[in-house]
Amino acid sequence: MSTVPLSPGSASGIPGFLPTHVVPPGGLATWTAPDGAVPTEPLDPLLPVRLVERRGEWGQVLCSNGWAAWTDARLLVSLPQGPPAAGGLPERTQDARALLARVQETLGQYRTAMEDLAAGRTDGETFGRTTRGLRIGAVVDGDAVWLYDAGRDMWCYCDGTAMAALASPAGPGGEG
């Protein structure tokens, strides 16, 4: 089987990168090969990745910066690869603008805390307390947007007019 010949030093990015999955909220350990022998840097929580190869429970993922590694593919959260079927969106949820505003607000809170830390106005412990519990996720691909709704712990798809819940960690039939 072929592998993606990329290294952590490749920072040029991948034109047209389209994620297929998102790393779960706890992040994921990675290895250089699908054998668990040589660990590498872990994947960040909620990082969008592309699953490029699967070998049993192992999956090789590609990040938007060109870095590739092997991880436990069973734990990746699948993203929809296009709008829902022609029958329309699944059950519609709230207007996407409110969730986009929460994403923007949370990112602003994190940025303020990061700037305070970088400027020496706070220490690492205060930074940790200030950012604890902040969680967002957004994948924008042209007119398609997938947003992580931290309040409901689920991914939602927005087509510009409406938003629908698409993926819940509870799994099929579970409470979202």
Q: Could you read off the pLDDT of 36-73 as tens digits, one per residue?
A: 999 999 998 888 899 999 999 999 999 888 899 999 99
43 CB-contact burial (10 Å; exposed 0-12 / middle 13-18 / buried 19+): buried
Task: Tell me the domain boundaries of the chain.
Answer: 21-78, 96-167
Q: What is the pTM of this model?
A: 0.49
User: Is CATH 2.30.30.40 the right assignment for the domain spanning 21-78?
Assistant: yes
Residue 6: pLDDT band with limits 50, 70, 90? very low
CA–CA gap between residue 69 and residue 6 (Å, rounded): 9
Q: Could you read off the pLDDT of 7-43 as tens digits, one per residue?
A: 333 334 577 778 888 898 889 999 999 999 999 999 9
Q: Examine the pLDDT at 108 and tell me if it is beyond 80.
A: yes
Sheet arrangement for strand 28-31: 39-43, 28-31, 68-72, 58-63, 48-55, 21-22, 77-78
Residue 82: pLDDT band with limits 50, 70, 90? low
Q: Could you read off the pLDDT of 114-149 as tens digits, one per residue?
A: 999 999 999 999 999 999 988 888 877 777 787 888
